[in-house]
Amino acid sequence: MPLRYFTAGESHGPALIAILEGMPAGFPFPTEFINQQLYRRQQGYGGGPRMKMERDQAEVLSGVMDGQTIGSPIAMRVDNLNHARWVGKDIDSFTTPRPGHVDLTAAVKYGYRDLRPGLERSSARETAARVAVGAVCQAFLAEFGIRVGGYVRTIGSVKADLSTMSLEERLACVDESEVRCPNPDASAHMINAIRQTMQNRDTLGGIIEVVALGLPVGLGSHMQWDRRLESRLAAAIMSVQAMKGMEIGDAFENAHLPGTQAHDGIRLDGDQLIRPTNRAGGLEGGITNGEPLIIRAAMKPIATTLTPQDTVDLATGTEQPTEYERSDFCPVPRAVVVLETVVAITLADALLEKLGGDSMDEIRPRFETLRKATLTDLPMDGTPHTFWPK
Ligand code: EPS
């Protein structure tokens, strides 16, 4: 896969670092857009006090000259302002693992004497570095008219009815809502549900939908398991902290239906092969089919609850209630930006794989020559043929 990225950094360490490799040369570097996306990631009702302390900004350390990418690895740094309050600080040991958190599994696996090293790296703070990478990929995709966006569908038991809104309408108003839900009524109910949850000293999860518009036909492949775009998107979504499930299109609903009701009929509109419905969510056989990509992801309610839960103090060997660590109450609205990020990275990778090339000058004309889903663009003439000819 042509695009690779890494992140490094702990939640309360000096900084987060991201390295993105594989971006072509000659692409206008979107510094302002990266910082806008970092800002968006910090907004959303249900966040914790940490978000008021940080002012995330990306400092670009390599890969860019004169405002353009030069094809070399792009390194970015996002400082943790909160680090100043933690450096050199004596802190109590933390030995009561939270159910559902990495605390216990990381401590067993790495042999830590305290739970903090595990939570420092597993923290969703890491997603700031990923959002910087994703913003570069989103700007790259935008060069080809491809747009990735997301919004909240449910928070706790509150579901938004979005059936009367087109995908474009949903994306256009998402940031007007404090919970990133395009339906204002549902938004108000979601805010109430989060407020109630905070009063109950608890946390809430939800379902986020991410869509990509303007995709060409032919990204991904059925030829090998790890080239299927479904599998690459699933890995990307499930790599985000607290994501526990995902579907493409109407996957879970389709599982209850007979085949004649679950698929999208293929029709002709002039020369163009079209699908009046999109239950497949834009992918067939691991390959984009030209319809909007639609992904839903299930985020668990985060594990850090003000109300104590059952655990064991690993230092004393006694059953104890959990101790509270500062945290978010409902990070679902903020996670929208993170999911947009990982989907954009996966699609930028798939587009670069399809087109090849090291510079935008090479890549742009190749995009124009991509095969279209039209009868004239397909070399089928109905000639009989022999299978496995000797
Ligand atoms: C998080 C706990 C909180 C969140 C954090 C994720 O941080 P802290 O422990 O410093 O209060 O705010 O998210 C971020 C810092 C961020 O930038 O997203 C956790 O336990 O995962």
Closest by CA position to 95, among listed 322, 319, 313, 317: 313
Q: Give residue 107's pLDDT.
A: 97
48 lines ligand 1 (CB under 6 A): yes
Quote the ligand 1 centre to 334 CA distance (angstroms).
11
64 lines ligand 1 (CB under 6 A): no
Q: Which residues of the chain have pLDDT under 50?
A: none
Q: Give residue 389's pLDDT.
A: 80
Quote the ligand 1 centre to 354 CA distance (angstroms).
37
Q: Give residue 289's pLDDT.
A: 97
Give the C-alpha distances (Å, rounded to integers) separating 253 from 212, 238, 250, 256.
21, 20, 5, 6
Q: Give residue 261's pLDDT.
A: 98
Reading the block at residue 307, the tokens are 């109300």
Q: How many CB atoms lie within 10 A of CB 74?
A: 24
11 lines ligand 1 (CB under 6 A): yes
87 in helix, strand or coil?
A: coil
305 lines ligand 1 (CB under 6 A): no
80 lines ligand 1 (CB under 6 A): no
Taking CA atoms only, the protein residue closest to ligand 1 atom 14 is: 125
Give the C-alpha distances (Å, rounded to integers) separating 135 from 26, 29, 38, 279, 368.
17, 10, 9, 28, 24
Q: Give residue 234's pLDDT.
A: 98
Digit-coded pLDDT (tens) for 272-330:
999 999 999 999 999 999 999 999 999 999 999 999 999 999 999 999 999 988 889 99
327 lines ligand 1 (CB under 6 A): yes
Taking CA atoms only, the protein residue closest to ligand 1 atom 7 is: 327
Quote the ligand 1 centre to 329 CA distance (angstroms).
10
Which atom of ligand 1 sits closest to the CA of residue 119? 20
C-alpha distance across the termini of the chain, in Å: 36
16 lines ligand 1 (CB under 6 A): no
